[in-house]
Structure 1
């Protein structure tokens, strides 16, 4: 029987006059990594020909004690400008290279409009098709090498990455991951000159395919756009990175990276920017601090919480959803954005909650002068 998750996604997609072939990214959260093959078997029936990019992880818990939760990102060629459709025949560009791992279940990269979405990369050596040997450092390096190979195959520089998501089976490995991470970011002399690093989220998971220790996914700016947009100057749209002292700062991530019509916000922990420490109190206090940090970042770039289009909530205890919702509703009283909530069992700094968001940026980012 087809799982309700994919049936629900198909119903939503069709309700806005789209088709499953318009999906560019799928993210699957499993309660048990042992269910991976069964879920992928059903998944393949919904994508018999075209396959989007894919991320699959196991988490500690899901709402309603579900076994699986699935989310989708859908291309929208007609745009959202009232009375002014944006080139309704914009196409998706799907690419694969033998220099990175391939899969019949997913494309390596799907470009649409001004973004490339990459499938989450496991530490697989493409020459053998197997997980690399060694520990967390070797596995992190292979994940990032695979991402770099995919980007080089589509002639996109590494520093065009605007958001990185890192999934770890053990948060104790963060320091080792960061050590490798800094050898890849910044990648170019220009990026080093301005100390550019993308927005970033790190989440603990209970299991990964192939028993990997780490899996990394990337969202990449695509200044040229996909046809029939006119080809602009090479990567001519500006990436605008910004930090404010009114929210916690980190040398390994930028608080917000704007590109084209989106701002990507790094995951926020319940850290008081004045003390740089986790706020005391329970999950309500911590949820409020996360949202205060997000609000401060958004307002620092002249936006408001009503511009948020997607929220991702990571909870140490899935049973805290109701308490979090009490706080959440005070920040999104009118228009509620799309949302995902998962239980991860552990968070950095032993926090109870972590939240990241994506923000609409109607004005877009400018072209290079």
Structure 2
């Protein structure tokens, strides 16, 4: 067991100025230099109900809720590193972007936008934020509160006035989700899912080269697919990129991964890929001697399902990112028998096995992402979920999807606190 007293601790907080959680989760969970916010629905905190109106009014309420949470913990919207917007209808993207842009003038965070099959409470919009936390979470010992974020763009990848390609803070870079756009023409590349995935990955590579970060510093990729049946074509493009360097090939390193079927993507794309990237150099004023040499630590255990295309858990500095877990038995690699409760339990048992194999506990989980084949199953899932998180601490996002790999009813991934950090090179 890891003794947490000398280290950053998991800090969950809630405010009455935003909707209280409709399940066993917290509005925001801070650990080290990041705040992980639960996805916000367009719910009025005074009434507990969805606001009247369409996508524009719902988007406005989502951002008001985020702003209320951010301000309740002594931060400002300028501290937002990444925004993720899920829509019920991709056709609402323009009106939602109009609302979004009012909250970020001058600085635009990294951004991901996708339409999904369903959202909780039949909402049209759901918005999630990742926030910097310069003061850290060591009890009674504020850290470098003057850390700065570094926003970077390059002409060698698609540019957008609504987002920054890469936003670094402390030891992580968060990249905007990349569409299969040729940066020279500004149009989608010709071809199918394989060609589009390859262009997404080329755009990610160009962004990383612009900030002098190697491709193998990616710790997590999230792949959004219009048609889950295209996954093998996308896998071909991924195999061509991971592992990338001789060092990574020597240890067969591949990042953690989540694959999500979506109902629509901007510009009618078939594929969109976002990446979370290590940033060993840190951001100023971290001293050079304190920030060089932190290593990625990839980990697999036989007690959870394994996949050649992803690593179960990839730790860097004070966070560990887990690949999405399906309700598969580690012993048989088959879906467990039963309904959504049994499948949810298996997903969470797989996460628990991975977390414990790294010397951590489920109480170290700071963020959970739940993908449901049937959004109406959310209450049944919460019955199981609460037994794994009795304090309801992790922040959470829940979306409905039309299909999941292996015909599963549910898929869950997680972000875990890694208080001990990862060691510098010898």
Smaller-chain TM-score range? Answer: over 0.9
TM value normalised by structure 2: 0.86
- Equivalence for 2:237: 180
Query: 2:293 is paired with a residue of what secondary structure?
Result: coil
Q: Return the alpha-carbon distance in structure 2 between the equivalents of residues 69 and 159 of structure 1.
A: 31
Name which of 212, 223, 228 aligns with 2:269: 212
Gaps of 5+ in 2: 1-56
The verdict on how the C-alpha distance between 1:73 and 1:279 changes in structure 2, with shifts beyond 3 A counting, is same
**Match runs of 1:345-356 below 5 Å:** 345-356=402-413
**Match runs of 1:200-239 below 5 Å:** 200-232=257-289, 235-239=292-296
Residues 79-106 of structure 1, C-alpha deviations (whole Å, 9 max, x = no match): 1111221111000000000000000000
* 2:94 is the counterpart of 1:37: yes
Query: 1:277 is paired with a residue of what secondary structure?
Result: coil
* 2:104 is the counterpart of 1:50: no
TM value normalised by structure 1: 0.99
> Contact conserved, 2:336 with 2:346, CA < 8 A, in 1?
yes
The verdict on how the C-alpha distance between 1:161 and 1:105 changes in structure 2, with shifts beyond 3 A counting, is same
> Contact conserved, 1:161 with 1:219, CA < 8 A, in 2?
yes
Residues 126-182 of structure 1, C-alpha deviations (whole Å, 9 max, x = no match): 001111111111100000000000000000000000000000010100111101100
- Equivalence for 2:380: 323
**Match runs of 1:196-275 below 5 Å:** 196-232=253-289, 235-275=292-332
- Equivalence for 2:341: 284
> Contact conserved, 1:306 with 1:335, CA < 8 A, in 2?
no
**Aligned positions, number:** 369
> Contact conserved, 1:309 with 1:360, CA < 8 A, in 2?
yes
More contact order relative to length (CA 8 Å, sep ≥ 6): 2
Residues 198-246 of structure 1, C-alpha deviations (whole Å, 9 max, x = no match): 0000000000000000000000000010000012488510110000000
Task: Find runs of 4+ consecutive structure 1 residues off by over 3 angstroms.
Answer: 232-235
Name which of 128, 131, 139 aligns with 2:185: 128
Residues 333-361 of structure 1, C-alpha deviations (whole Å, 9 max, x = no match): 02421000000110000100000000001
> Contact conserved, 1:161 with 1:198, CA < 8 A, in 2?
yes
Gaps of 5+ in 1: none
> Contact conserved, 1:222 with 1:235, CA < 8 A, in 2?
no
Name the Cα RMSD after superposition: 0.9
Query: 2:288 is paired with a residue of what secondary structure?
Result: coil
Query: 1:284 is paired with a residue of what secondary structure?
Result: helix
